[in-house]
Copies of this chain bind each other. A is one copy, B any other.
């Protein structure tokens, strides 16, 4: 496909229903969370209070076609949050009940859609600096861990832990890795912690046993480096979903929205 608009149209026509990894490199991809209005204020507060773990890019304004600061993310008006992701997860009371190629039927006037930053962009920047993450080199999924660090509570969101992604680096490379990822302020930015003492501070007891993604051996001359991870808001929904009346809709992990923006720092 030639550009993000054409790609979104292929998703809308349900021609592309696969993951978006490697699709249109250089364009920003976004995570999705669609919530009933009753939970939307709490979620927006959660993002405002925890911007590193929950980097809110924008939200729908009444219609599924219009975003706050629309032009920053989508060129023109050919946009539909209910169809432009390749695949959707439908949740009821925090439980996954269905996967669908669109959520036209599930979306209601009572829903607000939130787009959330994702870390694909900074992996690319690390690669270009010659610091390709090991998971990218191996073609495996990044290791992700549920921590004992909790988000600052907001409204219905309470006792929701940070999820972190881990990439091993040599100690002498950490300063550069931090500098390279720092500008990606809307996609988790620089690492939140690092080192084996950092793992301890985050309450991670076994670095070989990730809660999500693939296991990755840390070499003897490497230490773990931890970034806040986009799974955090999803786990937050799983944690408090039983308190939410009405359907919650997310993208199917890996099946992101491709934006027209190349940079949302």
Residues of A that sit less than 8 Å from B by CB:
45, 48-53, 148-150, 152-155, 158-159, 178, 182, 185, 189-193, 201, 228
Contact = CB atoms under 8 A, between A and B. Distances in A.
A189 B46 CA distance: 12
Contacts of A192: 152-153
A50 B192 CA distance: 11
B45 A182 contact: yes
- Complex copy number for this chain: 2
A189 B49 contact: yes
A104 B53 CA distance: 40
Q: Is the interface of A mostly helix, strand, loop or mixed?
A: loop
| Interface pairs A-B: 10 shortest CB-CB | A152-B192, A52-B152, A49-B52, A150-B201, A153-B192, A153-B193, A149-B149, A153-B191, A49-B51, A150-B193
6 contacts: A45-B182, A49-B51, A49-B52, A49-B189, A153-B192, A153-B193
Nearest to A161: B201
A153 B190 contact: yes
Contacts of A158: 193
Contacts of A45: 182, 190
A48 B49 contact: no
